[in-house]
Structure 1
Amino acid sequence: MRWTIGRVKITKVVELETVGHTRFILPSAGSEEIRRLPWLIPHFATEEGRLKMSIHALVVETPTRRIVVDTGLGNDKQGRTIPIWNDRKGPFLDDLTAAGYPPDSIDTVLCTHLHVDHIGWNTRLKDGRWVPTFENARYVFGQTEYAYWRDHSTAPDKAAIFADSVAPILKAGRAELVASDARICDEITLIPTPGHSPGHISLHIRSDGEEGVLAGDVAHHPCQMAHLDWSSTVDSDASQSAQTRRELFARVADRPVLVIGGHFDAGHIKRDGDAFKFVGAGH
């Protein structure tokens, strides 16, 4: 899947897709509630009201940069709380290369936040050690986000995630810690969007008069645009995440701004009463 914003090309490289099996993360999104949002069907939900989601990376190619935004689950990881996320042997790097982006061609990795399903391919296992997957890239982490997980990764699963997917990047000298509103390049500026995690960031892209937002996990699914209070079970601050959703979606609603989620495809946000709805790009 590819989209363009001016001279910026965005390519989605999927690691894992799912239909249903999402109640553990969005418990309010029952099938009856989803069927009451017909604009979700068929692109974002099934006729039965089951949510469609994916774990993916977004490659953002500007005239001067090749950036991977979020890196999925990774292979060979251990200590994850969801069993199928352990010891994966997926073809993600081959798929990335087939899309035209071999790992050694990437110059920047940017993580919207440091949760397990957004940082896994930061590293790969080589001779028993975790090393940076993208050996020519600088890894951009939000300073607030990094500091939080450095100091709050004592639980066994959090410790494993930090140890295999974050700490090796620091050890290799590849990390760059930035402010939540930092300018990454001519076309890309960060937006602070806390709530899902303490230092969550989104990307604002502007090129040749066109705009886009890579929202990360501000919303896990477009159903949260209609129900701003449907916070994820893994949000660090549920009320803050709802407020961030309202603010970000209001900023782009009813404007030609392409919005791409951390777990869903691109579209445009429209005001719908006191909330919003999502119209998939090209749908």
Structure 2
Amino acid sequence: MTTTNLAVDDETARLRRPAGIRSIRLGTTKVSFVPDGVVLLPPRGWLPDTTDEVWRAHPEYLDESGHLVASLGGLLVENGDRALLIDTGFGPQSLPADPATPRGPIRGGALLENLAALGRHPRDVEAVAFTHLHPDHLGWTDRPAPGTDRPAFAHAPHLVSAPEWAARADGHGEQAAALEPYVRTVTDGEEIFPGVRVRVTGGHTPGHTTYEITSGGRRLIAFGDALHSPVQIGHPEWSAAVDHDPARAAAQRRALIAELAKPDTIGFGIHFADVVFGRVGRGESGPVWEPVDE
């Protein structure tokens, strides 16, 4: 096998497995994916505008069971001795596939262990910010830290965009209610941490939020669930079955993909298998996701 084929095989393998800890630097800021677990997504159920022909043409995105592999976790942002966490994974629980939804089996629980591997304790996190209020992003907010009776991040403010918090009863009110004692709402453009700004986009949920992180002349956009799979980079018209406003979500994806193609801009796709950090490049037939590892 040639060196080129080895590289292609490794890249394909990364599309079919959940991510481990991955870190990159933006000037004086370090950003790290903190894994919590994985969910398997039936491709046509999750992206209902696709066809069997699409997936026959793109088998590299599917694992041996025929699912899209979506990582679960959070993004740790460190600046000196300060730390911010964006999203908290699914938490210490597992569920089988739900035939009533477009979701396959899901499991979490590794976030605190991986946070420790990065040299951080939950008490080191000064704030927790959320892209949106879905259970696979709220996981550790209402779960006690091991050996305690309090949620792991109960000491920290929980930052949620104002429109997302206003719509919290739309399907996820019970878990969102557990956040209420800790929530501080934030607004579009607000700086919540050195170099980290809120961008309220909507689409996936009423107040879905991305976070723009800048340092050292580089920019990272943590885009939450605006995109669930690298395959959508070339097909922004493919909305997820769970998108609150599919048309708005598609418009946001188009704008996001154009932005991710700009110089010195990196994206963070929390569900992007083992290619969570990347940039948008130009492939033979359009934009493609190019993993970035440093």
TM-score, normalisation: structure 1: 0.81
Work out whether residues 144 and 180 of structure 1, in 8 Å CA contact, stay in contact via their aligned partners in 2. Answer: no
Counterparts of 1:282 and 1:92 in 2: how far apart (Å)? 20
* 1:69 matched to 2:77: no
What are the within-5 Å matches in structure 2 for residues 162-177 of structure 1? 162-164=173-175, 166-171=176-181, 174-177=182-185
Partner AA of 2:221 in structure 1: V
Change (3 A) 1:221 1:198: same
Structure 1 distance, partners of 2:260, 2:104, is 37
Q: Does 1:196 align with 2:204?
A: yes
Matches within 5 A, 1:102-121: 102-121=121-140
**Structure 1 position 220 matched with structure 2 position 241:** no
Q: Residue 24 of structure 2 corresponds to which residue in structure 1?
A: 3
Q: Percent identity?
A: 30
Q: What's the counterpart of residue 257 of structure 1?
A: 265
Deviation at residue 12 of structure 1 after TM alignment: 1.3
CA shift at 1:235, angstroms? 0.2
Structure 1 CA distance, aligned partners of 2:65 and 2:144? 40
User: CA 1:122–1:237 in 2, change beyond 3 Å: closer, same or farther?
Assistant: same
In structure 1, what is the Cα distance between the partners aligned to 2:67 and 2:140? 28
Q: Does 1:132 align with 2:151?
A: yes
Match of 2:73 in 1: 56
TM-score normalised by L of structure 2: 0.78
SS at match of 2:167: helix
| Inter-partner Cα distance in structure 2 for 1:219 and 1:17 | 16
Gaps of 5+ in 2: 1-21
Aligned length: 264
Secondary structure at the aligned position of 1:134 is classed as coil
In structure 1, runs of 5+ residues without a counterpart are: none
AA aligned opposite 1:219: L
**Equivalent position amino acid for 1:55 in 2:** L
**Aligned: 1:211 with 2:219:** yes
Deviation larger for 246-255 or 102-111 = 246-255
1:279 is matched with which residue: 282, 286, 290? 290
How much has 1:59 moved relative to structure 2?
Answer: 0.9
